[in-house]
Amino acid sequence: MNGRAKGAAGQSGGGRGSQPEKGAQGGQRPGREHSVTLEGRARLSLTGVEDVDCFNEQLVVLRTPLGTLTVAGAGLNVSRLSLEDGRVEIDGEVDALEYSGGKKKSGGWRSRLFR
């Protein structure tokens, strides 16, 4: 029984503090980096993708550590999807990328200006 407890503790993050708990509760995998690479508006490569909410030829909605990412365009096709690795590739004509619901910055230049 003692060996099982050690194995379970080792799998839950190896002593990284509160990150494994956040991952378990929030559906996020700890330590995942998010990046976006757009090649000529025709191919979009993403890392750090946690989930795909929906997609069709005009819209792809993804969950990332930085918030929900909406990709808008025409003829969009999810050509690669690996949520285990957090990688997604989208082909088609990309018109817009928009993040929403992500981490809020503590104030902006306006709040610093009017202090």
> 68 lies in a domain?
yes
Number of domains making up the chain = 1
What domain range includes position 80?
37-101
d(CA 45, CA 38) in angstroms, rounded, equals 6
CATH number, domain containing residue 91: 2.60.40.2000
Structural contact between residues 72 and 98, judged by C-beta atoms closer than 8 angstroms: yes
Report yes or no on 97 lying in a domain.
yes
Domain annotation covers residue 85: yes
107, part of any domain:
no
The rounded distance, in Å, linking the Cα atoms of 30 and 93 is 32
* Per-residue pLDDT tens digits for 9-26: 333 333 333 333 333 334
pTM for the whole thing? 0.64
Task: Give residue 106's pLDDT.
Answer: 53
